[in-house]
A and B are shown apart, each in its own frame.
Chain A
């Protein structure tokens, strides 16, 4: 196990970063916000981590600073974003990312400009990285099973209905957007403190596409979707590298197959397999008359 973890360390780092980015988009999307701002907050987290680690700050304090800054920035922009809907909202979040990208280019003292930042201390331990990813997955899972999760589901399906039953539409969307920003910032922290580099290629439009691919392949609205998508999207280029120049084509084919045959992604596919398996499994024993009577009484 230890050997596997050591041998696949770069892949596991990529999986972690892509998974966190996927959850960032997922959390906003579940509340009906199609957010491209993930990459912008990822950049904020990445550059802040680089500067603070080079300044000698402990990684835990750096993580706290990243969470605080991305959270505060998200709170500042939510009053504008929660007034927008549909395509306009998506465009506003894209504009936010473009703004951060241009700021990164024009602020070389802190971002390294077009070169990016190199030689940043790689201080994040593998166990800490897994803890962060698992922590986010568990939080998302718990939230979706909670009252907040029900409010978010209602909001995504029907804003008018959710408001009529008491869901504060703007506040719920704002909270989801802030959570999305904080998760994206955490992805930036993981990227920089584990790879030791952060630059313009990490926040290019290609990363936006990767985030969306993670969601589409994994299952955009299922709580485990971004994790499955992160694993597949990060692992495919590695395991298909033997195909040489066919690598990219094969990746595209895999993505297309998932999109065409399983629009609910791998999570939807596994759910379907699980449901079928449960239907086919015969009961282990016939219910006793007492048990049947008890069940009837409680229904």
Chain B
């Protein structure tokens, strides 16, 4: 059973076919990369999966269960979590509270369920995520006081703190310098080696070729190609669409 499966998914906004008949799957433990030029429907596909955009038609299943019509907050409780293309941190909360916010949305915040002096499960998950993304030093800072790359790491930590079974990352290294990209790539590899399934949207094809087990290429809202990353990236139609040249 696939962790995530999209079957003939269409998202139309009036006459605009943002996503038009896309089908692919993410298997358990797999890291799937998704590439495509600007406007090719990558983010809309993720929005459809996370119910931020309504499906026009098609079906999306998560661990075999149809999630095409469930409300967004239910998806997180099932283990399907995303990050966004733009940074979306809550400015009035500290770094730790931004991460804790996500960790405590499963009912574990109820203090009477844990003994005196014991740490809440949500706090444990939050601190583990902060540690994994090397954010313990800045946990009490306001997000706005942090460099861009660190804010990106906070977003990933927030997603991780939910204990996801599938992580959808929308351009996780956008705007980062090379060192920061390598750092995030190492984190993603590490998470994937722990068995976490991931769908990563990224413009950095080199990064995806290094990380992913499977590559999905979109163009004009349609599935252009998918398969083994290096072979898929080498296809003439992919090079034409992505690089503007088949050479």
Contacts and interface: CB of A to CB of B under 8 A. Distances in A.
Contacts of A54: none
A169 B73 CA distance: 8
Given A153-B93, A157-B90, A158-B88, A163 B73 contact: yes
Interface stretch (B22-30, B33-41, B94-102): B94-102
Contact of B105 (A153, A160, A166, A299): A166
A203 B214 CA distance: 64
B162 interface: yes
A166 B106 contact: yes
Contacts of B101: 147, 150-151, 154, 165, 167
A161 interface: yes
B72 A164 contact: yes
Interface in A140-171: 146-147, 150-151, 153-154, 157-158, 160-169
Contacts of B220: none
A17 B195 CA distance: 57
Nearest to A165: B102
Contact of B81 (A154, A158, A164): A164
A9 to B, nearest CB: 38
B131 to A, nearest CB: 12
A166 B74 CA distance: 7
Contacts, number: 66
A166 B102 contact: yes
A22 B158 CA distance: 34
Given A150-B101, A151-B101, A166 B52 contact: no
A153 B136 contact: no
Contacts of A150: 90, 93, 97, 100-101, 104
Nearest to B108: A147
Contact of B162 (A147, A158, A160, A166): A166
A164 B88 CA distance: 11
B212 interface: no
Contacts of A299: 136-137
Nearest to B159: A165
Contacts of B52: 160, 164
Interface in B48-85: 50, 52, 71-73, 75-77, 81-82, 84
B194 interface: no
Interface in A162-199: 162-169
Contacts of B77: 166
A164 B76 contact: yes
Contacts of B106: 166
Nearest to B84: A161
B132 interface: no
Given A166-B73, A299-B137, A161 B88 contact: yes
B17 interface: no
Contact of B92 (A146, A153, A164): A153
B228 to A, nearest CB: 31
Given A164-B81, A165-B105, A166-B105, A154 B90 contact: yes
Contacts of A147: 100-101, 104, 109, 122
A189 to B, nearest CB: 30
A158 B136 CA distance: 25
Nearest to B92: A153
The 9 lowest CB-CB distance pairs between A and B, nearest first, are A166-B105, A166-B76, A163-B72, A165-B102, A147-B109, A161-B88, A150-B101, A147-B104, A163-B73
23 contacts: A147-B100, A147-B104, A151-B105, A157-B90, A157-B92, A158-B90, A160-B52, A160-B88, A161-B88, A161-B90, A163-B73, A164-B73, A164-B75, A164-B81, A164-B84, A165-B102, A165-B158, A166-B105, A166-B106, A166-B162, A168-B73, A299-B136, A299-B137
Given A160-B52, A162-B73, A165-B105, 8 more contacts: A147-B104, A150-B90, A150-B100, A150-B104, A164-B50, A164-B73, A165-B101, A299-B137
Interface of A: 146-147, 150-151, 153-154, 157-158, 160-169, 299
Interface of B: 50, 52, 71-73, 75-77, 81-82, 84, 88, 90-93, 97, 100-102, 104-106, 109, 122, 136-137, 158, 162
